[in-house]
Amino acid sequence: MAGAVVPPLRSGRVPGVGGMWAAGRRVSSRLALSGGEGGGVMGETPSGKRHHRRGKVSIAYDAPGGGGSQGASSSEAKKPKWEPKNWEQQLANIQEMRKERDAPVDRMGAGKCFDADAPPEVWRYQVLLSLMLSSQTKDQVTAAAMMRLRQHGLTVDSILEMDNAALGQLIYPVGFWKRKVQYIKQTTAILKRDYGGDIPKTVAALVQLPGVGPKMAHLVMDIAWETVSGIGVDTHVHRICNRLGWTKKETGLPEETRQALEAWLPRGLWSEINWLLVGFGQQVCLPVRPRCATCLNHGICPAARKR
Ligand code: SF4
């Protein structure tokens, strides 16, 4: 993909905080993070044109049931909020283990595969497509498919002009590629008809698009609109949160994990946590045979003791 794809670097998702974290050292980042500032740096192009070191990140919240946390009532606010034991140290350790930013998601994640020099509505559309392709697909495969699409010309109009067979050839072998051809065509037609070729700007509208679920919608909001609407919880985030005890009780589905996590995790970390845990899940806390022996959380992870 060298030369054709110009992936923006997703670095320093919580500016000024990553450097504070070190293994074996308790951190006092909560207050600094909970104000919503520095909630995410989405990356920078090599040319520095985009993408986007944010001094302040907009945070939007969905209504209850639609994801995200709405303002708590005064009675709720008085209750001591549950939070997992040792979570700050566990997070600090993960940040330390992720400091090299050398996981597949750091180089080829869905937020890295768009053309940062394209017009805004075009690169936003490419963000949406890369996330649609990434479901059930390794980052390497998604990145390669995005490169082929971009070489062909990846805009709303070019996709609408393409027949299904040609689109299938370009995205194969992403997971469920035949179904994704249908979703991409249907979604692209809706974008053309209802959004002037751009993408919707709310989670509620995004999840109405064929093939777009809550996890994807929150990541689109974060990457494409620089608005933190909720935590993007994929299988890595879901698995690791349950292993670390970051959910009050065990959760069965990523969507349950998202709601459980949003109930206590400071909002300033919502943007970073997906990127952080996905890479950690790719390199250390693997789905099968996690590398507990080398994990800095070995001594404070409930799951490690069983292994
Ligand atoms: S100790 Fe093992 S299970 Fe726990 S976070 Fe580390 S790798 Fe994952």
Report whether CATH 1.10.3720.10 matches the domain 109-228.
no
Sign of CA dihedral 111, 117, 120, 126: negative
Atom of ligand 1 nearest to the CA of 291: 7
Kindly state if the Cβ of 179 falls inside 6 Å of ligand 1.
Answer: no
| Residue from 148, 159, 167, 173 nearest 122 by CA | 159
Ranges of H-type helices in 195-269: 203-206, 214-225, 235-244, 254-262
Please answer whether residues 198 and 124 qualify as being in contact, where contact means their C-beta atoms are separated by less than 8 angstroms: yes
Atom of ligand 1 nearest to the CA of 243: 3
Q: How far is the CA of 298 from the centre of ligand 1 (A)?
A: 6
Q: How far is the CA of 301 from the centre of ligand 1 (A)?
A: 6
Please answer whether residues 98 and 280 qualify as being in contact, where contact means their C-beta atoms are separated by less than 8 angstroms: yes
- Higher confidence at residue 32 or residue 295? 295
Please answer whether residues 21 and 29 qualify as being in contact, where contact means their C-beta atoms are separated by less than 8 angstroms: yes
- What is the per-residue pLDDT across 174-229, written as a single tens digit (0 to 9) for each? 999 999 999 999 999 999 999 999 999 999 999 999 999 998 999 999 999 999 99
pTM of the model: 0.75
Kindly state if the Cβ of 303 falls inside 6 Å of ligand 1.
Answer: yes
Residues 6+ apart with CB under 8 A from 262: 67, 68, 69, 230, 231, 270
Please answer whether residues 293 and 120 qualify as being in contact, where contact means their C-beta atoms are separated by less than 8 angstroms: no
DSSP-assigned states of every residue in 120-182: HHHHHHHHHHHHHHHTTS-HHHHHHHHHHHHHH--SHHHHHHS-HHHHHHHHTTSTTHHHHHH
Q: For the chain, how many helices (H) and strands (E)? A: 14, 2
Mean pLDDT in the chain? 80
What's the token pair of residue 214? Answer: 């809550």
Kindly state if the Cβ of 298 falls inside 6 Å of ligand 1.
Answer: yes
Report the 10 Å Cβ neighbour count for 135: 20
Kindly state if the Cβ of 91 falls inside 6 Å of ligand 1.
Answer: no
Residue identifier of the C-alpha nearest atom 8 of ligand 1: 285
Going from N- to C-terminal start, the domains of the chain cover: 56-61+82-102+231-307, 109-228
Q: How far is the CA of 219 from the centre of ligand 1 (A)?
A: 25
Atom of ligand 1 nearest to the CA of 90: 5
41, β-bridge pairs: 53
Catalytic residue among 201, 215, 248, 249: 215
User: How far, in Å, CA of 89 to CA of 28, rounded?
Assistant: 10
Task: Check residue 78 and give its pLDDT.
Answer: 65
Residue identifier of the C-alpha nearest atom 2 of ligand 1: 292
Q: How far is the CA of 93 from the centre of ligand 1 (A)?
A: 11
Return the C-alpha torsion angle 226, 229, 230, 234, nearest 10: -50
How many residues can be counted in the chain? 307
Residue 194 identity: D
- What is the per-residue pLDDT across 91-128, written as a single tens digit (0 to 9) for each? 999 999 999 999 999 998 877 899 999 999 999 999 99
Kindly state if the Cβ of 94 falls inside 6 Å of ligand 1.
Answer: no
**Which of the 8 DSSP states describes residue 136?**
T
Q: 């620089």: which residue's tokens?
A: 226
Q: Please give the share of the chain, as a percent, with pLDDT higher than 90.
A: 70
Q: How far is the CA of 285 from the centre of ligand 1 (A)?
A: 5
Under CATH, what is the fold of the domain 56-61+82-102+231-307?
Answer: Endonuclease Iii, domain 2 (1.10.1670)
User: How far, in Å, CA of 195 to CA of 212, rounded?
Assistant: 16
| Residue from 21, 54, 40, 78 nearest 229 by CA | 40
- What is the per-residue pLDDT across 241-290, written as a single tens digit (0 to 9) for each? 999 999 999 999 999 999 999 999 999 999 999 999 999 999 999 999 99
User: How far, in Å, CA of 137 to CA of 177, rounded?
Assistant: 10
Kindly state if the Cβ of 284 falls inside 6 Å of ligand 1.
Answer: yes
Is there a catalytic annotation at residue 215? yes
Q: How far is the CA of 257 from the centre of ligand 1 (A)?
A: 17
User: How far, in Å, CA of 191 to CA of 122, rounded?
Assistant: 11
What's the token pair of residue 269? Answer: 């970390």
